[in-house]
Each structure stands twice: as C-alpha cells, then as structure tokens.
Structure 1
C-alpha cells in the first residue's frame, strides 16, 4: 500500500490529554485523529495552530461523555504524571492529577463500542514506584474491561539526543487475538527490570514485540542554535563559576562544543552539573530553577551559558521546524516539556499500534 493510500485508509484515533499535539503529529501517517482534548488553554492554542480546531475540544476530561465521541480503533491517553514522577510528590495513581486516568477509563466505559487498542503513556514511575503497584492497579482495571495489556519502556535517546524514558501501556481487546509476530515469549529490549517486576504474576500480560530503531545519528550539537544570544555580564559569570574545575578542564580540551546541565545543590552549595555524552537531560516543565536546563557552549576558546531556546526544545522532541510554538519562552518550554517525543510515538504506531488496529478491521 502506498503512503498516500495508507493515509486515505487510516483507522480512527481519540487522543486524551493531547497537550500541544505532538502525538497527533506523530500519528498522522497511521491514524486519523477524530477527536482530541486538553484542559490547558495555552496548549490548546498550540494544538489548534498545528492541527486545526475542528476536532479539538478544550475542557476537563470530567465533562467528557463517551456516548458523545466518534467510534475509533485507538484511544491514546498521556495522562498527567505529577503524582507518579520520582521528581514529584509520588502520591500515586489514585491522586488528583495522575488519577485522571480513571476518568479516561470511565469515558471508555460509556462508549457504545470500546476501541480495539488502548495506549496509556506516562513516566517510568508508573512501573518503578511502589514496587509496581501503580501499574498493576491500571492493569487490573484494563483486564476487568476486557483487555489484555503489556507495557514497554522506551527512551527517546534512541531516536533523539535527549534522555527521556517513558512507559507505554498497550492494551488490546481480549476478543481480538494478537498475531505471533507482535508478541514475544518473554522480555525483549523494551522490557527492562522495572517492567519485568511490575509484570510479575499478572494475568493477561503480553510481552509486546517491537523492532529496535536504527542507531541515532544526531547529537545535541547538531540541534542547537549556535548563534542564539547567550547570557552577559554578572549572570553569565555567576553561572560559569558554578562549573566544577574538572568539568571546565574537560570543556577546554574539547574545542568548540556544547554541554547541557542543571543547577543542583551538592554538599550545601549550588553547582552546575554538566554531561558530555552529546545528549540533553530530560525536558521538564519550567516550574522552578532546578528544572531549567542550561547549555554551556565553548566557542573559539571562550565559555558561554544560556538556557535552551524554544526551538531547541521542539527539536529535542522531534517537532519539525514548521511546528508552531507559543510566543512566550515559558509557554513554549512547557508545551514541549509536557509532550511525548514524536519519533517514539511514530515508531510505536508504525510497528505495533497500526498492525493491531488493522486486526480490528479484518
């Protein structure tokens, strides 16, 4: 089937917690997003700017009724991570923010025909926190609704120069038999120890098979805007003074280069910790100084420092250059920091979600 023909025969998709729309962008060649929603007005503006307004609904998921939604083969939910993140309050999957996943399931319960395939995306804490109890609660809920499920842990660093591990729970309606080529007899590369521990003893668990992507060819230096303005004066001097002497020496030995880092408190003093593997740290929302990622650039023997630019954050998430971003820096950083890395979602759609959705159509 040609790419044009494939786009003309795409199964339908519903996207919950759609944010700035990178999942919709990633799925565009494989699924037709018939309905999407988010509660954040600023992210909604980004979504509509890139995907149009016709199928986007702004508002709380608590006000969504399953009977009002169009039929679809796939339902995707990147539900809030604050209560599952190890950097957050770890209140768990029943807390007020991450607990919105139960609203997603309530909406599915109200649909005349539940989608054949479900995808729930979240941080690694979904499987690693509390000895996997949060994932098991979700697994049992899916099982009770007539689904078989399994989880994969995919790090965006395989596709992009950003360390961003995320869990993707894939569930298939139990009345649809998955083909052998999409299932494995046991753990594969996307099933590290936290996934295996969370899966231990579960019924209706599936070890989903996913091909590994080709080796990444870009590093951070390939994506940054080398001519973007850097800090000046006392602010720049202060940031550079936070770099450990050993890291400064390493920078000076590398010639023109870039090293990302976060400000941390170590032994009672603030430091700017750098990494030298050509990979950015995980983008997060700009909720405080510790979550803002800095770049230290060495150009012609001189050190400079600055924050990531808005376009750099978009590139690190796999957004194309034409992807429209909010006007303010914080809004753009938040739009990307809360998103799903597009190449990861596209790889999953191509090699697992679309083949599963096609089973429903057969």
Structure 2
C-alpha cells in the first residue's frame, strides 16, 4: 500500500481543497505554500498517478455530484480545474451549462453547503471560457461568484512562458469582497495578464478586479532541451508515410540547417490530412489522446536523416513542468491523458507564489484584527 506522501511541512502555512484533481500536478505546484486537506476526482487512472506521487490519504475518488459540502474542512483556498470540453474551441462549445463543463456548478453548490467557506477560489479552464461569444460564459460565472460575496478577476497565463509548450489557460481568481487587497496585487486597468478577450469579457462587470503580477523571466528551455533522444522512432514505412503528410513549405523549412526538431499535429485541410509543424522551439498544446489526431508528432534530424515518432510520456511530463521523479504508472495512453488534461506546474506555482499565498496571508492577518475572530462562516 502506498504511503501518504502529503504530510504537511513547516513551510506550508495554508491549506486547500482541490476539485477535478486529476494527476496531482496542481498539488505538486502549490506545495511550497499550500497543503492539500482534501481532493477529489472521478477517474481511477488519473487517481493512480495522484496517489503514486502524493499518497492516498487526502484523495477521494467519486463523482463530484455526490460530494457533500457540509462535511468538508475549512481551507484557505478552493481550486477547481473543471472540465473544458464544452468550452474548448476544438470541441462543440456547448457552454458553461452543458454536461461536462457545467460541473462547475457542482463546485459552487458544494461551496454553498460548506459551514466554513474558503475565502479564496480559483477556477481554471481553456481560453474559450472568456473568448467564446464575447465572454458570455465567463460573465455568467463571474456573476455567480459575485452573488456569493466575492470580487473576481480573470487572467490568462500561457505555459510557454516557462516550458516549451503553447498552453494558454484562464485562471479565475475570486476573493472575499470585504478583504482589502494589497495595492501591488491589483492594477487600475489591464496588464500583461489580461489580453483583449479578457478585457471584452470584463466590460461593465461589478466587483471586477484587475489582478497584477510581475512578468516572469524569459523561458530558458526549448523543445530540443526536453527530448529523450534515445527513444525509439517509427519504422521506415511509418516514417515515410508520416513525412509524406508534411506540407511542402513546412518540409522546405524542416530541411534548413538550423532545424533539428519540429513538433506537429495531424489536421485535415481541404479534405486532405496533413502534418502541420511548428518551428518556434515549442510544442503545441497537449491534448487527451482520444484519437490519432490528438497525439503530437515529432520530426527529428538524427545524423542528417529525418526520423518521426510520437512524444514519449516523459516528454509530455517535461512539457508540463513535472520533474523526472514524477511517477506515471499505467499505459502510454494513461500517461498521455494524465499530462494532457492537467495544469502546467510552473504556471500554478507562479500563481500560488505571486498571488494566492499573498492573499491567504492577508486573510490570516484579517482574522487577527476582525471583530468576530471567526473564519468565513456562511
């Protein structure tokens, strides 16, 4: 039986609940400041990754619809990386009330049921949450949080700022409206964190917050730096078939001397399947491996010869910022899904260090001076 690896250390001043916990990358990312009191996910295969790295004590494998908020402990933070299928531009965009993405309302239902409610909430999803239909889905969520006594803002963080993967994600951060936010954490208007899609979605919203954080230093890694060069490539026939899918202009660029590796996805263009590559030193956004077009290909030059293969599981983990010590039990598809349906570690860590931990500090100071002396009781 695996040990409970999630023992609190002396540096962890704050606690959090995690919904849709998946493979545990958020718990790993936040562990410098927050320890997990309780976590939930429905997928046993992702849970095996979580347990392998964090232990079994705090993870509850069940449908979120069965979770009762009145039995959950108080924490400083509640985090929900709720399903993106109905908000993704690659999906059917059924919206925030559809079957999968609509599970965010179960998260809020649990919050409503809690006796002592967390003062900080984070909801993470794809950029479609703010970009689709001029942000209508975000505005619905914003109003729901505002009605619960929160002031709220959204930011977009791209994992490409830290790791060689293009992975923009929306983080909705809500804090109790009666807390005084330190001036360095907010701005009078948009910053690098709020592109035009967020600005449009935020127009005329009540209790909107322009969150502010320092821009991180330039990324140090490119795709070439995270590769497992000894990983086996496709056989000659598969390689030939894969190379034939590359558009002519992409092949011309691939043959230039400065290109050693390029990543790409299969797509259908004008009724024909092609393998579109990118040459900016980063991989495309990882997806869950539901079909052949969801797996990312690599084209490499090895001793002047073009080779092709899929990303390895360890490479997907590195693209998510997970250390090589992070365990990935199960099949290839299990590992790919665990990483492709997760939050990049350095992104969540940045948010925790620059915003969430400071906000939790403000809350603890508030408790010391509040007349009631009580936590947030609903």
Which category describes the TM-score, using the shorter chain as reference length?
over 0.9
* Residue number in structure 1 paired with 2:370: none
Bigger shift: residues 321-330 or 252-261: 252-261
* Residue number in structure 2 paired with 1:117: 120
Q: Distance in 2 between matches of 1:126 and 1:264?
A: 24
Q: Is the 8 A contact 1:82 1:89 kept in 2?
A: yes
Which structure 2 residues correspond to residues 92-103 of structure 1 after superposition, within 5 A?
92-103=95-106
Q: Distance in 2 between matches of 1:72 and 1:265?
A: 47
CA positional deviation for 1:349: 0.2
Q: Distance in 1 between matches of 2:67 and 2:21?
A: 14
2:330 counterpart SS class: coil
Residue 336 of structure 2 is aligned to residue 302 of structure 1: no
Number of residue pairs matched by the alignment: 358
Residue 279 of structure 2 is aligned to residue 271 of structure 1: no
* Residue number in structure 2 paired with 1:40: 43
- The structure 2 residue matched to 1:105, chosen from 99, 105, 108, is 108
Bigger shift: residues 252-261 or 286-295: 252-261
Which ranges in structure 1 are unaligned for 5 or more consecutive residues?
Answer: none
Which structure 2 residues correspond to residues 300-339 of structure 1 after superposition, within 5 A?
300-339=303-342
**RMSD across aligned C-alpha pairs, in angstroms?**
1.2
CA positional deviation for 1:255: 5.5
* Residue number in structure 2 paired with 1:80: 83
Which structure 2 residues correspond to residues 90-169 of structure 1 after superposition, within 5 A?
90-169=93-172
**TM-score of the aligned structures, taking structure 1 as reference length:** 0.97
Q: Deviations over 1:31-66 (max 9, x none)?
A: 011111100010011101100000110001111111
- The structure 2 residue matched to 1:280, chosen from 283, 293, 304, is 283
Q: Deviations over 1:65-107 (max 9, x none)?
A: 1111111000000000000000001000000100000000000
Q: Distance in 2 between matches of 1:244 and 1:254?
A: 18
Q: Deviations over 1:174-225 (max 9, x none)?
A: 1211111111000000100000000001000000011111000110000011
2:124 counterpart SS class: strand
Q: Distance in 1 between matches of 2:133 and 2:217?
A: 34
- The structure 1 residue matched to 2:256, chosen from 247, 253, 256, is 253
1:221 counterpart SS class: helix
2:152 counterpart SS class: strand
Q: Distance in 2 between matches of 1:9 and 1:323?
A: 20
**TM-score of the aligned structures, taking structure 2 as reference length:** 0.93
* Counterparts in 2 of 1:6 and 1:354: CA distance versus 1, 3 Å: farther
Q: Is the 8 A contact 1:74 1:119 kept in 2?
A: yes
* Counterparts in 2 of 1:275 and 1:58: CA distance versus 1, 3 Å: same
* Residue number in structure 2 paired with 1:70: 73
Q: Is the 8 A contact 1:6 1:30 kept in 2?
A: no
CA positional deviation for 1:248: 2.2
- The structure 2 residue matched to 1:292, chosen from 287, 295, 300, is 295
CA positional deviation for 1:16: 0.5
Q: Distance in 2 between matches of 1:33 and 1:348?
A: 16
Q: Distance in 2 between matches of 1:108 and 1:324?
A: 32
CA positional deviation for 1:6: 8.3
Flag as ranges the 4+ runs of structure 1 deviating above 6 A. Answer: none
Bigger shift: residues 136-145 or 9-18: 9-18
- The structure 2 residue matched to 1:233, chosen from 236, 250, 256, is 236
Q: Is the 8 A contact 1:252 1:301 kept in 2?
A: no
Q: Deviations over 1:126-172 (max 9, x none)?
A: 00012101000000000010000000011100011000000000000
- The structure 2 residue matched to 1:342, chosen from 339, 345, 351, is 345
* Residue number in structure 2 paired with 1:182: 185
Q: Distance in 1 between matches of 2:148 and 2:320?
A: 33
